[in-house]
Structure 1
Amino acid sequence: MERPSPRGLAAGLVSLLALAATSLVAGPAAAAAGDAAPCALPRTPAHHSLGVDRWNGAYPRPDHALDAVMVFLSFPDAEPATTPAEIASDYFPSTTRFFRRASYGKFTLRPHPQREWIRMPKPSTWYGIRRDWASDRRSAYLRDAIRVADERIDFSRYDIVYLVADPDAPGVDSDATKVVNFDRPLHADGTDIRRVVTVFEQHPPDHNVLAHETGHVFDLPDLYHRPTDGKGDWDTYVGDWDVMGSQFGLSPDLFGWHKWKLGWLDDRQVVCVQSDRVVTLEPMADVPVPGASLGTRLAVLRTGEGSAVAVEARGSTGNDLSTCAEGILLYRVRNETPSGGGPVEVLDTHPDSDACWERSVYPPLADAPLRVGETYSVPGAHATVEVADRTPSGAYTVRITTGT
């Protein structure tokens, strides 16, 4: 679920949850090994836990090509002003490019947009579409959507389902865009449907919104802070860093920890720091030329049974081309903190300054990275991080002192 923007299946559908994840049953586990293993936090029952020791088999793992169907839904109370092709172009190929860059070419999202609108049986206003949706109307919407779509679509061909509502229908609220998970998978065309992405965006939509929502399909958590009273700042946890925090961020590439969880980084690119060490970190968003090694991308300091501090380089390249500041980014990870509760918190190495007021979603964290020549004492880790140098290729030489 995204934060507010600036601007034969029926029985199974009754039982659903509007959470971004439900199953806590791990699938085939690939235990971490090698130098990174001591820092691999274990998965916990927390919603979208950031444990990386095993994969939750209830979610598709994006370590190979996946197929996504886009179903376009119209309503009796509105005639669509756009075509499915026009709306599909709002999201693709940009979303595919985002994931291809973020995964270093290891994952391809293949969209299959349908060519025609499929008419829902009730007016858009009847469904009561909004962010915190009444469960009975939400169930009715999903029941109707899957029923009318199943008449034309073979769901067994697809790994991901996007239900895209007519943006001009009077009852469509863009704040309602989210991933809906079923507590019991639906069965259609010989396949289980565990979740769908319900898209209610305007045309054109919010930037990177589908990359954010698709991240939930891969078991990634919301990193923004949702104020309990609906007021206040949503970006205090991670600011511009990572699309799971803000889809409008200047540095939307996924954190290295997320890439480790998803399988885009393996133990060869992750260093567990248990004593004084000098590491060379390649910028996280830097996509190497085909055939070249990724190099070390992430250093981790274990700070407790369920917590760690991650150290990575961020530069003006790839998905981070519009970044406000380059340098070494540090952030705390907690495996027992649920989605939306702050499972990741960026450490501000420049707490007395901010940057990019005209562009940043949260200027106090826009200049969070440590620059060359600077040293930072990591709270609670009994460690210091010094950025000793930057190589001609753009990698950072980082000296980590643990005191052990």
Structure 2
Amino acid sequence: MGDRIPHPEVDVPRQRRAGGVERPSLRGVAAAVTSLLALAATSLVTGPAAALTSEAGPCALPRTEVHHSLGLEDWNDAYLRPDHSLDAIMVFVSFPDHRPTATPGELVADYFPATTQFFQRASYGKFTLRPHPLQQWIQMPKASTWYGIQRDWNNERRSAYLRDAIAVADPEVDFSRFDIVYLVADPDAPGVDADATKVVNFDRPLHADGTDIRRIVTVFEQHPPDHNVLAHETGHVFDLPDLYHRPSDGKGDWDTHVGDWDVMGSQFGLAPDFFGWHKWKVGWLDQRQVVCVQRSRDITLEPISAVPVPGASLGTRLAVIRTGEGSAVAIEARSATGNDRTTCAEGILLYRVRNGTPSGGGPIEVIDTHPHSDACWERSVYPPLADAPLRVGETYTIPGAHARVEVADQKPSGAWTVRIVTGV
């Protein structure tokens, strides 16, 4: 096996609350993972492009080489695409310096069926995440404090953690049966830092049981965990970027880019359903539900989080104005339904998308159509953007887009009528 370079996701914005089958030896895997020790964790995971199954249209931005690019003219085959059911193994690791006080079953209940239900709603029933948890703890060879677990993790210790975890789990797990690996640590062990939860990618995959392991979701959450945290992490497995802003000193506000909107910004958000652009990228929306606005027109937008009854049409969910070679403005309706049922405000949400901005750099920025007000101080992760959507009767001219958005009405069905005027 060749060298593998990990690319860690910078996840979890902040912690706000306290079988008889003979398999190949892991000796080669362990030796190869050891080679991570001298390598920097800053590489980009790339892969062959796969054409999308339907015409993306003139408003679809091309994918670039930045990490988790939001271009969507083709799909990066280095990542799973959640357009079918996927199976996930949950491995629970303990440490010799602490006896777990929670059972694996209790930790499973922290995440499932809630995470599966979140994705079923978000995908309009097109994707099912099927968990397969081990029923026992698997003990690591070293104390939890030895691994130095933390957000900005030392490469050598993180590599040792991954190497040891795969080695101790291999006798109990046939990795060839699973699409996703969740590695869940004893949440009460003294060396476990909940802020270290993240996805680790590999330029060149690990090999075990005759299969490639391209990435591992390492979970260090407290019990009970942060709300929707596993949905956030799993989004990275599907090539979705971090949407929050990480302050250089770690002391500023993390939620200035998108606020409560989209779980990839904050797992605590009041309206955590995925942006329509994300749903378009992963295949839950296609060109039949997306309007590319090239002239003035009226559009009826169904709320992005509304799950239709079986057999019913999704309707139009997203309108897009192309503003440049690598940029666009997306327009969608957000209502208190589905994954957005706790939203602070309903209306028409506008946001900018840039395909050349990497994960964590602000590839999506919500446009605040009410810049002089805020809302839901007691609940919102970022009140200045909590009231960002336009309401019925309001109009907003989008800077740099030569377009004006007018919200005409909301129908009894919940759909919104929007007039988009171009050339202004």
Question: Structure 2-normalised TM-score?
Answer: 0.93
Identity %: 77
Give, in whole Å, the separation in 2 of the partners of 1:23 and 1:332: 25
- Superposition deviation, residue 21 in structure 1: 8.0
Alignment-derived partner of residue 340 in structure 2 = 320
Alignment-derived partner of residue 152 in structure 1 = 172
Alignment-derived partner of residue 306 in structure 1 = 326
Alignment-derived partner of residue 133 in structure 2 = 113
- Superposition deviation, residue 19 in structure 1: 6.5
Counterpart selection for 2:276 from 227, 243, 256: 256
Structure 2: tracts of 5 or more residues without a match: 1-10, 18-25
SS at match of 1:39: coil
Question: Structure 1-normalised TM-score?
Answer: 0.98
SS at match of 1:28: strand
Give, in whole Å, the separation in 2 of the partners of 1:193 and 1:56: 16
CA contact (8 A) 2:41 2:155 kept: no
CA contact (8 A) 2:185 2:219 kept: yes
Letter in 1 for 2:14: P
CA contact (8 A) 1:18 1:180 kept: no
Counterpart selection for 2:361 from 332, 341, 360: 341
Alignment-derived partner of residue 235 in structure 2 = 215
Structure 1: tracts of 5 or more residues without a match: none
Does 2:149 correspond to 1:129? Answer: yes
Give, in whole Å, the separation in 1 of the partners of 2:420 and 2:325: 21
Residues 158-182 of structure 1 show CA distances to partners (whole Å, capped at 9, x for unaligned) of 0000000000100000000000011
CA contact (8 A) 1:13 1:182 kept: no
SS at match of 2:58: helix
- What pairs up with 1:324-403 in 2 under 5 angstroms? 324-403=344-423
Higher mean displacement: 232-241 or 179-188: 179-188
CA contact (8 A) 1:20 1:181 kept: no
- Superposition deviation, residue 27 in structure 1: 3.7
Counterpart selection for 1:240 from 253, 257, 260: 260
- Superposition deviation, residue 22 in structure 1: 3.4
Letter in 1 for 2:366: V
CA contact (8 A) 2:45 2:201 kept: no
- Superposition deviation, residue 269 in structure 1: 0.1
Give, in whole Å, the separation in 1 of the partners of 2:47 and 2:148: 33
Does 2:282 correspond to 1:272? Answer: no
Letter in 2 for 1:303: T
- Superposition deviation, residue 14 in structure 1: 3.0
Alignment-derived partner of residue 44 in structure 1 = 64
- Superposition deviation, residue 203 in structure 1: 0.3
Give, in whole Å, the separation in 1 of the partners of 2:124 and 2:250: 37
Give, in whole Å, the separation in 1 of the partners of 2:57 and 2:43: 26
Give, in whole Å, the separation in 2 of the partners of 1:291 and 1:140: 50
Give, in whole Å, the separation in 2 of the partners of 1:125 and 1:98: 34
CA contact (8 A) 1:20 1:180 kept: no
Give, in whole Å, the separation in 2 of the partners of 1:307 and 1:172: 40
Letter in 1 for 2:244: Y
Alignment-derived partner of residue 30 in structure 1 = 52
SS at match of 2:64: coil
- Superposition deviation, residue 31 in structure 1: 6.3
Letter in 2 for 1:282: E
Residues 283-307 of structure 1 show CA distances to partners (whole Å, capped at 9, x for unaligned) of 0000000000000000000000000
Give, in whole Å, the separation in 2 of the partners of 1:21 and 1:115: 35
Higher mean displacement: 11-20 or 211-220: 11-20
Letter in 2 for 1:192: D
